[in-house]
Chains A and B, each alone.
Chain A
Amino acid sequence: MSEKEKKVIDARGLSCPGPITNLTKAYRNAKNGDVLEIWATDPGFKSDIKAWIERTKNELVDLKEDKDKIIAVIKITAKK
């Protein structure tokens, strides 16, 4: 998967930590270099994703709030 073909994980409407569990599911199948974009609406997602990045040492490319959702873009760099 190239960066152009990033995988979108739509976790809107899921309450905390639904977005993180969906990310965990996708992370199992991901390879280094893959880009994952997670959409969430749960406000707790922002702190959870930062903690996940800190623990796993992957790269947080972007974390922003859109009109109706929080978007986190992650580059997988730490998969062993």
Chain B
Amino acid sequence: MIEKEKFLIVGGGSGGAILANSLAKEFDVTVINDSPNHYYWPQLLQIAFRNDYSNLYRPLSSLLVKGVNLIIDSVKKIDLQERSITLSTNKKLSYDYIAIAPGVTIDHKSIEGNEKLVNQFGDFHSTPENASKVFNIVNSMKKGTFVISVGDPYHRCPPSPYEGILLADEVFRLRGVRENINMVLAVPYPRAYPAETFNEVLEPILKERGINVMTFFTADKIDTDNKKITSLEGEELSYDAAIVVPVHKGPKIEIKPEDSVNQDGFINADKLTNQILSYDDAFAIGDASTSTNAKTGVTAHLQAKVVAKRVLGLDAKNTGRTNCPTEIGFQKGTFVISDYNHPAVKVPANTINFIMKRLFADVYWDVIKHPEFWDPIFDVYFERTEPEVLWRIFK
């Protein structure tokens, strides 16, 4: 019997787990994850505004198919030239192929005062504990100014700050306190939503809901004593309660050679193939890569499928497809759908899109575990909803 080649996957999130399950028959696959659990990060928003923990995590071992090895440990070092990785226990593993998919590191320290602020009001990009603080504040605030401010344009889930402010608006309205609360969304971009076309969908919704938008405002310093946020661009914003989307950095893993990571620690991967530099046996997928794609689960999922096909000898390439479900509150939602060649489609907000978002959260675990069942379904979905096709419908 021919011995299977060793495929190491660093990180068992959406990208890592789907890749592992897609290659279990052809390779000797080992996943290394620093937690025994696999987190569904979009659930942080549901905790923050609905106190709903239902889809937060599952044991990673329950999501991997038979034959995939799992090591619960953190990775200290990856040497692409030596084809080896070193675990926190100093154990060394060698590989024939590697995919690096450990996600991002949330860095509250990069914005002065954000550690104190997050301790007070929480956020919905870091931990369930911080998300529950948001739930407490939106359910106790009676008056004043409520701010969501973006401190880093490259954060996970591009629509999340907009979902956050609109879901907070929903909570305030349902509690009957909305008219006493001034709501502000402060963003680094020239307009409310970074993609100009999708801004045409979102800006009128924000306006209708009475949310004030500050553009070119990137949170830089927070004075928690005087309740003021100063932006990189030099302006000030006062708040009574504020959530700052924190700075995201690459994984805390020493990766050799040094030029395989950028100054923020993200791994330099080709946007079409996810290959790292000239190493045709090494890939970076998902949030940890420098890919210009959005940092979302769907990106990690599609990149994992491209890498799986490439190592099996097929010429697959990323199209840059995004498919970000975006809730706007009151049982309505839209999708941010774009690719490398088409800007975000103007998908209108409706209840069907909201239902699709909620149903996807429930089937997510099955999607991870059974790629062989879901791949043909997603192939049809992504083909029928290609941005080129949708642009003809939503002009």
Residues 1-29 of A, flagged 1 when their CB comes within 8 A of B and 0 if not, give: 00000000000011111101100110111
The answer, among A13, A14, A16, A28, for a CB contact under 8 Å with B218, is: A28
Within 8 Å CB of B188, what residues of A? Answer: 20-21, 24
Q: How far is the CA of A16 from the CA of B194 in the complex (A)?
A: 7
Name the residue on B nearest A44 (C-beta): B196
Interface contact B216-A21, CB-CB below 8 Å: no
Interface contact B234-A18, CB-CB below 8 Å: no
A61 at the interface (CB under 8 A from B): no
Interface of B: prevailing SS = loop
- Interface residues contributed by chain B, number (CB under 8 Å): 23
The answer, among A13, A16, A80, for a CB contact under 8 Å with B195, is: A16
Q: Assuming the A-B contacts A21-B153, A24-B232, A28-B218, are A48 and B190 also in contact, with contact meaning beta carbons closer than 8 angstroms in the complex?
A: yes
Q: Assuming the A-B contacts A14-B292, A17-B190, A55-B216, are A25 and B153 also in contact, with contact meaning beta carbons closer than 8 angstroms in the complex?
A: yes
Interface contact B190-A56, CB-CB below 8 Å: no
Within 8 Å CB of B196, what residues of A? Answer: 16-17, 44
Q: How far is the CA of A13 from the CA of B215 in the complex (A)?
A: 23
B210 at the interface (CB under 8 A from A): no
Within 8 Å CB of B232, what residues of A? Answer: 24, 27-28
Interface contact A52-B216, CB-CB below 8 Å: yes
Interface contact A15-B343, CB-CB below 8 Å: yes
Residues 193-227 of B, flagged 1 when their CB comes within 8 A of A and 0 if not, give: 01110000000000000000001101010000000
Residues 229-273 of B, flagged 1 when their CB comes within 8 A of A and 0 if not, give: 010111000000000000000000000000000011000000000
Within 8 Å CB of A13, what residues of B? Answer: 292
Interface of A: prevailing SS = helix
Q: How far is the CA of A25 from the CA of B188 in the complex (A)?
A: 10
Q: How far is the CA of A15 from the CA of B264 in the complex (A)?
A: 22
Within 8 Å CB of B343, what residues of A? Answer: 15-16
B154 at the interface (CB under 8 A from A): yes
Interface contact B190-A21, CB-CB below 8 Å: no
Q: Assuming the A-B contacts A55-B216, A56-B233, are A21 and B195 also in contact, with contact meaning beta carbons closer than 8 angstroms in the complex?
A: no
Within 8 Å CB of B365, what residues of A? Answer: none
Residues 46-80 of A, flagged 1 when their CB comes within 8 A of B and 0 if not, give: 01100110011100000000000000000000101
Selected A-B contacts with CB under 8 Å, 25 pairs = A13-B292, A16-B195, A17-B194, A17-B195, A17-B196, A21-B154, A21-B188, A21-B189, A21-B194, A24-B218, A24-B232, A27-B232, A28-B218, A28-B220, A28-B232, A29-B263, A44-B196, A47-B190, A51-B190, A51-B216, A52-B190, A52-B233, A55-B216, A56-B233, A56-B234
Q: Which residues of B contact A (CB under 8 A)?
A: 110, 152-154, 188-191, 194-196, 215-216, 218, 220, 230, 232-234, 263-264, 292, 343
